[in-house]
Amino acid sequence: MSHSLTANPTGNPGARPIPSSARPYGNPYLMGFLLGLVLLATYVVTGRGLGATAAFSAVAAWLAGIVSPLQVQDNLVHGRYWNDGAPLASWTLFLLAGAALGAFVSGWQGRRLAWSVERGPNVSVNTRLVLAFAGGFIAAYGAKIAKGCTSGQALTGGSMLNVGSLVFMLAVFASAYALAWFVRKEWL
Amino acid sequence: MLPLSSFVEWSPAAELGIALLLGAGFGFCLERAGFGSARKLTAVFYLYDMAVVKVMFTAIVTTMAGLFLLSAGGWMDLSQLYLEPTNYAAQGLGGLVFGAGFIVGGYCPGTSVSGAATGRMDAMLFMLGMLCGVLAYAEFTPGLDAWIKAGSSGELTLPTLTGLGMGWWVLVFVAFLAFAAWGMGWLERHFTTLRPQT
């Protein structure tokens, strides 16, 4: 299969340390199957699927709460993540904390741990970092409007054949494919 | 009947422990699939490495088939599962905006965590951008939530929309995955020259 042709699995050119001993990634169909089992287990145990964006919203509510607890509770958006004054005791935030741990273990096993910046050969580190920040900001807005991201909508909703989730998924891919040509210098 | 949450009361601490555990599996799968790397993730948009679609599609079909079998066997009540209400405008527009953030930033919210956990500094910046984004949304445009709520079509799934049962949809998706797997192999061979050499 052609995915095994990946010569440089960390895909990181430039001066940053690349662990040349990095092991290849898992077979995508096998990893998809395992990811599906994790999602299924999440449904079976909690009755809800996975998510990610809510964790960021919880941290945002916590930060805003440091500035002004009263305003946070009045805010329509923050209010939903305020959790009676304990926004950091958020289920999704703990899910992502676990995800960081799991990813770290996998990266460590695969010898892929490295302080590095993922970028194409034709973009500077600083430009890439600015674009990463901007992309995060834009993605956050999209996820807030769509009420979910790739985890909460695409994976979780998609597996329940949720119509809105499928619309979201199609829109994400349509948009990214349409824009790919314009940002090709960042990746190719 | 499953889900467990419909008849088990966990303490708040236990719930967070479950979140940590499930999250560990989630993050492990993401990183092992290569999703801690922005280049691997964005490669799908240049067609030389379709891993993102392979993983996502397989995961969705696996979960869908599992849910269907659990339900058909009488072990699970699917109506107890949370379903985000469908809103064509919100999910269409949000998806378009999200897609732009994905190709520019190189990650999505979940995968940025897996990238950051393995030392990718661009993933950390993406996470910071996410945080600023959700903060800005709450502070400056909280009214968007009311607009989204107003346009909701309620809970809507393909089986309820089409009248075709979930089992048939599982078959359709499995067949489509098999066809897509073949097509993606062709795409990767066809566009392999786009793969950056350095």
- Which residues in chain B have their CB less than 8 angstroms from residue A120's CB? 39, 196
Residue type, position B112, single letter: S
The strand pairing partners of A116, in sequence order, are B120
Band (pLDDT 50/70/90 cuts) for residue A19 is low
Query: What average pLDDT does the segment A34-46 reach?
Result: 98
- Which residues in chain A have their CB less than 8 angstroms from residue B33's CB? 25-26, 28, 31-32, 35
Band (pLDDT 50/70/90 cuts) for residue A2 is very low
Q: Is the CB of residue A71 less than 8 Å away from at least one CB of chain B?
A: no
Out of B25, B56, B91, whose CB is closest to A167?
Answer: B91
Band (pLDDT 50/70/90 cuts) for residue B151 is confident
Out of B66, B92, B188, whose CB is closest to A40?
Answer: B66
- Cβ proximity of A54 and B82 under 8 Å: no
Band (pLDDT 50/70/90 cuts) for residue A73 is confident
A–B: how many Cβ contacts below 8 A?
554
Query: What average pLDDT does the segment A4-32 reach?
Result: 66
At residue B147, the pLDDT reads 86
- The per-residue DSSP string of B166-192 comes to HHHHHHHHHHHHHHHHHHHHHHHHHTG
- Cβ proximity of A33 and B104 under 8 Å: no
Query: What average pLDDT does the segment A30-44 reach?
Result: 98
Query: What average pLDDT does the segment A63-72 reach?
Result: 91
Query: Mutate which of B49, B63, B78 to test chain A, going by most A C-beta atoms within 10 A?
Result: B63
At residue A7, the pLDDT reads 41
Query: What average pLDDT does the segment A73-83 reach?
Result: 92
pLDDT of A10 above 60: no
Identify which of A39, A184, A132 has the alpha carbon closest to the alpha carbon of residue B108: A132
Out of B21, B95, B146, whose CB is closest to A175?
Answer: B95
pLDDT of A31 above 50: yes
Q: CA end-to-end span of chain B, whole Å?
A: 53
pLDDT of B162 above 60: yes
Query: What average pLDDT does the segment B1-24 reach?
Result: 95
Band (pLDDT 50/70/90 cuts) for residue A18 is low
Residue type, position B53, single letter: V
Q: To the nearest whole number, what is the mean pLDDT of chain B?
A: 96
Query: What average pLDDT does the segment B28-32 reach?
Result: 98
pLDDT of A184 above 80: yes
Q: What is the pLDDT of residues A128-145, one digit of tens each?
A: 999 999 999 999 999 999
- Three-class SS state of B129: helix
Distance (Å) from the alpha carbon of B184 to chain A's nearest alpha carbon: 10
Band (pLDDT 50/70/90 cuts) for residue A152 is very high
Identify which of B146, B47, B45 has the alpha carbon closest to the alpha carbon of residue B100: B45
Alpha-carbon distance of A157 to A171, in angstroms, equals 14
Query: Mutate which of A159, A179, A188 to test chain B, going by most B C-beta atoms within 10 A?
Result: A159
Q: What is the pLDDT of residues B64-114, one digit of tens each?
A: 999 999 999 999 999 999 999 999 999 999 999 999 999 999 999 999 999
pLDDT of A5 above 90: no
What are the helix (H) ranges across chain A? 28-46, 53-67, 69-74, 76-79, 91-109, 125-146, 158, 163-180, 184-187
List the domain boundaries for chain A. Answer: 27-112, 119-188
At residue B145, the pLDDT reads 87
Distance (Å) from the alpha carbon of A5 to chain B's nearest alpha carbon: 9
Band (pLDDT 50/70/90 cuts) for residue A3 is very low
Distance (Å) from the alpha carbon of B62 to chain A's nearest alpha carbon: 5
- Which residues in chain A have their CB less than 8 angstroms from residue B38's CB? 118-119, 132
- The per-residue DSSP string of B25-78 comes to HHHHHHHHTTTT-HHHHHGGGGTS--HHHHHHHHHHHHHHHHHHHHHHTTSB-G
At residue A39, the pLDDT reads 98
At residue A79, the pLDDT reads 93
Out of B42, B67, B134, whose CB is closest to A60?
Answer: B134
